[in-house]
Amino acid sequence: MMRASVLRNGRMIYRDDVPEPVPGQGQVLVEVTACGVCGGDLHFAAHGARMVELADQMTGAPSLTDGLDLGRDVFMGHEYAAEVIGAGPDTDAPAPGSAVTSVPALVTAQGIAPRLFSNTQPGGYAERMLLSADLLLPIPNGLDPRLAALAEPMAVGLHALNRSGIEAGTGAVVIGCGPAGLAAVAELHTRGIEPIVAADFSPARRELGRLMGAHEVVDPGVESVWDVWRRTGTGRGAPVVFEAVGVPGVLDAILRETPVATRIIVIGAAMEPDALTPYFGIAKEVEFRFVQAYTPAEFTETLCQIAEGELDVAPLITGEVGLADVGWAFDQLGDPEQHCKILVLPNG
């Protein structure tokens, strides 16, 4: 048996009686070194039933919650770094002790299963888990595994940037400086985009926005982000806007106030219907692009960016806990003044 933290009735519960995972062909057993607590996990803990309901209504795209039973314990944790313990039969894998990470997916006999929510497969909030040998990436340059674990959330920002089509000479406005918004700010800065204007009500998050590369940070309770944009982005036309809040009403507010010909990249995931005023978008010829996750190539790129010092993600890490305190971490992350990214160290 091993230890893990699982979601039960909306709360993270510590267990010490989870069966040891056994690798099959093509799979590798790893010891989890570090796993970041994702905002998506917090969202699922609070709105899991709604997410399952919406997934059941959706057609034309794979569901991340197929077969999930919320009446049973749910394993989570998908921002991880690990060390190889051993491999399944007839499996070519790195030597035991190798430091690795992977996109959160597991290849099984039934197909590729996302490693986000599962009733049966432990994730990064456990001492050990299974990964697919073919999806493993070595952690390069002796990189601290705590930093390597942030390759996954940073890839979300890189994907948003790539999908935005933003070009040099065009500035950006980032609404919301949570982990996803900060990842977007960091990747925009790495790409040389300027100016970057970032907005958040939290002073701590605004400071992180500045550390990640924003040229201007705005408290929207004091000053309009659009006034700041007009002051700093003069002569650069419309910005590309990255919405990373996910609260109903934000998109309509952006439509109402943004300049003509703005492209809006929607990262935030509102779980409830959101009323928009189409006239605003029509009058200004505004474009929406909705984004999710990243490609394997983007994941690899962010891992290399961190390892090579192009992305400094250390300021984002504001706490570390063991498996018994994951529930505490979930509670603490509700206060943006206290924490941004808490790492779970299952074997620390």
pLDDT score recorded for residue 139? 97
- Angle among Cα 153, 1, 71 to the nearest 5 degrees reads 65
User: Is residue 130 located within the same domain as residue 163?
Assistant: no
**Least-confidence region, from 20-24, 159-163, 228-232:** 228-232
Predicted local confidence at residue 103, as pLDDT: 95
pLDDT reported for residue 169? 87
Q: Indicate which CATH number applies to the domain containing 249.
A: 3.40.50.720
Q: Which residues contact 199 (CB under 8 A, 6 or more apart)?
A: 173, 174, 175, 176, 177, 206, 217, 218, 219, 220, 225
| Domain match, 168 and 139 both | no
In a domain, residue 92? The reply is: yes
66 domain residue, yes or no? yes
What's the pLDDT at 80? 97
β-pairing, 216-218 vs 196-199, is: parallel
Report pLDDT digits (tens) over 307-333: 999 999 999 999 999 999 999 999 999
Same domain, 136 and 254: no
Q: What is the pLDDT, as a whole number, of residue 313?
A: 96
**Within-domain flag for 242:** yes
Q: Which domain holds residue 280?
A: 154-290
The CA distance from 124 to 327, in Å, is 14
**Residues 64, 44: Cα–Cα separation, whole Å:** 11
Q: What is the average per-residue pLDDT within 218-227?
A: 95
Distance CA 265, CA 267 (A): 6
Question: Do both 280 and 335 map to the same domain?
Answer: no
In b/e form, how buried is each residue of 18-42, taking b as 16+ CB within 10 angstroms?
beebebbebbbbbbbbbbbbbbbbb
- Tell whether 185 and 124 lie within a shared domain: no
303 occurs within a structural domain: no
Q: Are residues 183 and 285 in the same domain?
A: yes
User: Which pLDDT value is given to residue 234?
Assistant: 66
Q: Mention every residue, 6+ apart, whose C-beta is less than 8 A from residue 169.
A: 236
Mean pLDDT of the residues in the chain: 93
Domain count, the chain: 2
Statement: residue 235 has pLDDT above 60: no
Question: Taking residues 4-10, what's their average pLDDT?
Answer: 96
Q: What is the pLDDT of residue 65?
A: 72
Span between the terminal Cα atoms of the chain, in Å:
18
What does the pLDDT average to over 135-152?
95
The tokens for 148 are 């390597």
The mean per-residue pLDDT over the stretch 80-98 comes to 96
Across 64-78, 160-174, 189-203, least confident range: 64-78
User: Are both 78 and 11 inside the same structural domain?
Assistant: yes
pLDDT of 85 higher than 80:
yes
Domain CATH number, residue 60: 3.90.180.10
Residue 136 shares a structural domain with residue 38: yes
Whether residues 239 and 335 share a domain: the answer is: no
- State whether 283 and 193 are in the same domain: yes
**pLDDT tens digits for range 169-219:** 899 999 999 999 999 999 999 999 999 999 999 999 999 999 999 999 999
Q: What is the DSSP pairing of strand 240-243 with strand 172-175? A: parallel
